[in-house]
Amino acid sequence: IAYFGAPGLDYVVEFTDLPDFLVKACKGKEIVCVEEKKCGPVELKQSPSLCQKSKEFLQRHREELESDDRIRVLKQRHRISMIPIWEVVLKPGDGDVEKDEEGKDDPFANKLFIYGEDKRVYFPRYPQKCCCCDCMDGANCTVM
């Protein structure tokens, strides 16, 4: 049996409270794409953590190849995408809850996020549901 595929590793660099799994699933602008027989680590002066993660990914890939002699690599690829994220802080109103159930500060209180090229909205503390559906679950709405 032969398996052809491209296992991938993801790393998200962002500085908001937006969950990483949402960032990984949206569209962005590709700023770096290197595809070669054997890739070297990405070199970006603006992001040392991204360079370090690139080296770690290549090392993990090398270790996987060494552990199984049935694996053949045709090409390797590094792809870096820039995904726009807007964090909107709303003015608190009467009765707004800014603490979670345990009394800790709620990182999502009075915040909403617009992210990705397709402008998805994440608003986990939306005060009410839509009139026609349950679409404000945080990950299924798009700003028109």
Contact 23, 83 (CB under 8 A): yes
Determine if the pTM surpasses 0.75. Answer: no
Closest by CA to 57, choosing from 4, 7, 5, 3, is: 7
Give the whole-angstrom CA distance, residue 109 versus residue 5: 42
Dump pLDDT digits (tens) for 32-65.
888 898 888 888 888 888 889 889 988 988 888 8
